[in-house]
Chain A
């Protein structure tokens, strides 16, 4: 039975290829059209993404940094030993340098924090933009979407403009309080200090709030306003209406926005490179590649990073909004 099935599948594959090249029925022609339409994209995805990623995985187990040769798991061993060494109790006995554990932990907590902050602000902004009669609403939308076009390095520069040593807010605050601008600047401080991390936090928000807002505006556009009006007419307060009518409807949108904004947060690189406030994974890539050319290690770290983002994106989107995966 199963053998028969397998033959049938093989036949279908063979027949499918033949009918793609020389279609007889209208349905075959349609399939050929679909294939023709999808081929350019698939070719780009194959040569632009799939093959490079496969090579990257291969590179991460290479014994040489300059070519792909041999198989060694040294990079992964170092990476996982380092991650284990970072774990408080378990890692006490591990003699490895916890540097990779530290950068991964930094990426995660900082990403979660900035994601939560920007999605909360994003919900409020999307609510205001969608529900209130604001003057010049079109202009507001355009202005809030403006930073989406700016690369991370420019977002970092915007933070220098606000909070740097010569920054506008720093100097205004220093003028009012009499403090030294150098002591209260949020950028240009040593890496890892509270002020520097606060500056980086705002730099992340600069890039992430607009993205979160526009993801959530999409969910808000689909909210059933009749139900909200009914709730209000039946005496619910604005908060109750939001809590019991609006929120359940936009909840899948919020989860989707959390996932996609978190991806953005993990992948931010330019902002960290300019502000140098916290050693996150993306910043570590730069050190692996420009300081000592350790491509095997960079590839291993990139492989772990890639697998992590893919898994949590698809797992997350599967469980929340079916519309993204169709």
Chain B
């Protein structure tokens, strides 16, 4: 009994190798008596943490719901909205009316190859920009994720670090772009920046897919059956990682569409990115119209989250989202 208790004493088994015996000698082993903290935490600890979870979820999500509801309100002066339901805020935010507010909105309809789509220009343009970023991300992120997962080579650790850690913050990159590429069209600069800033999400997502496969075996089977290496990569390995690739693309696309810090510094001319449109709405427009503008983005995120659930991802939780 005593033996078992001694052997089972929870000795902190962390990185503190030096002096771990000394720690035991000095008696930091827990007392038999749980003490006040122990008794309090045993009785209320669980309810406190559960309550904290509930408060946090309300703190994070309630304003999203309120914003969405407010976007349909005619008036909102007190605690609750009044005056019934209207779609005016949405119409103005989407730029579907010919008013002053609408010119600040998404403005006009997207014309592509002579066909006018019922998509507001800014929204459509931003979505395309973000899509461009995702394409670059795919070309860049999938191979590097494969290289660091499958092969062992000199500098692998560093390559991995730079691929999964956004080393340069968006605002710094923006300032660096100002002088480096002054004559580059805003659209191209934004696309390059988006792909660089969001690459970690793609790499992490694809890596987790690769890690769940026996890459060596798959590759060797395909090779021994006569497939060349590029063919193996493109027709065997990559299709197997499609879950990670799809969820990585969705996450990258959404985050790129809403990237603000970099866009704000770099954007100079041409169609405006969506995040700048959101910023103008937040800083210049009345509360209810800004609500409608932000709700557009909420709808996109909700749709994207539903898509992610379908691919087996729980929301935007890839790799802790750095």
- Residues of A whose CB lies within 8 Å of any CB of B are 29-31, 33-34, 36-38, 40-41, 43-45, 47-49, 51-53, 55-56, 59, 68, 121, 124-125, 127-129, 132, 134, 138, 140-154, 156-162, 166, 168, 171-172, 175, 206, 209-211, 214-218, 227, 230-231, 234-245, 248-249, 251-252, 257, 260, 263-264, 266-267, 269-270, 273-274, 282, 285-286, 289, 295, 298-299, 302, 305-306, 309-310, 313, 324-326
Judge whether A154 and B297 touch: CB under 8 Å.
yes
Judge whether B52 and A121 touch: CB under 8 Å.
yes
Distance in Å: Cβ of A275 to nearest Cβ of chain B: 10
Interface size on B, residues (CB 8 A): 107
Judge whether B159 and A166 touch: CB under 8 Å.
no
Query: Quick one: which of B144, B161, B290, B317 contacts A148, CB cutoff 8 A?
Result: B317
Judge whether A37 and B144 touch: CB under 8 Å.
yes
Nearest 10 A/B pairs, CB to CB:
A326-B157, A52-B176, A145-B315, A267-B169, A239-B41, A215-B320, A37-B147, A248-B14, A237-B38, A56-B176
Distance in Å: Cβ of B69 to nearest Cβ of chain A: 10
Instruction: A269 to B169: give the CA distance in the assembly, Å.
Output: 10
List CB contacts (< 8 Å) of B172-220 with chain A: 172-173, 175-181, 192-193, 195-196, 199
The interface bits of chain B over 9-22 (1 if a CB of A lies within 8 angstroms of the residue's CB, else 0) are 01011110000000
Judge whether A245 and B10 touch: CB under 8 Å.
yes
Instruction: A214 to B204: give the CA distance in the assembly, Å.
Output: 14
Question: A-side binding surface: helix, strand, loop or mixed?
Answer: helix
Instruction: A305 to B261: give the CA distance in the assembly, Å.
Output: 15
Q: Given A152-B260, A154-B297, A270-B261, check contact A144 B60 (CB 8 Å).
A: yes
B42 in the interface (beta carbon within 8 A): yes
Judge whether B42 and A151 touch: CB under 8 Å.
no
- Residues of B whose CB lies within 8 Å of any CB of A are 5, 8, 10, 12-15, 29-30, 32, 34, 37-39, 41-42, 45-46, 49-50, 52-53, 56-57, 59-64, 66-67, 70, 76-79, 136, 139-141, 143-144, 146-147, 151, 153, 156-165, 167-173, 175-181, 192-193, 195-196, 199, 229, 251, 254-255, 258-261, 264-265, 275, 278-279, 282-283, 287, 290, 294, 297, 301, 304-305, 309, 314-317, 319-322
Instruction: A154 to B239: give the CA distance in the assembly, Å.
Output: 36
Distance in Å: Cβ of A247 to nearest Cβ of chain B: 8
Q: Given A38-B147, A158-B67, check contact A231 B301 (CB 8 Å).
A: no
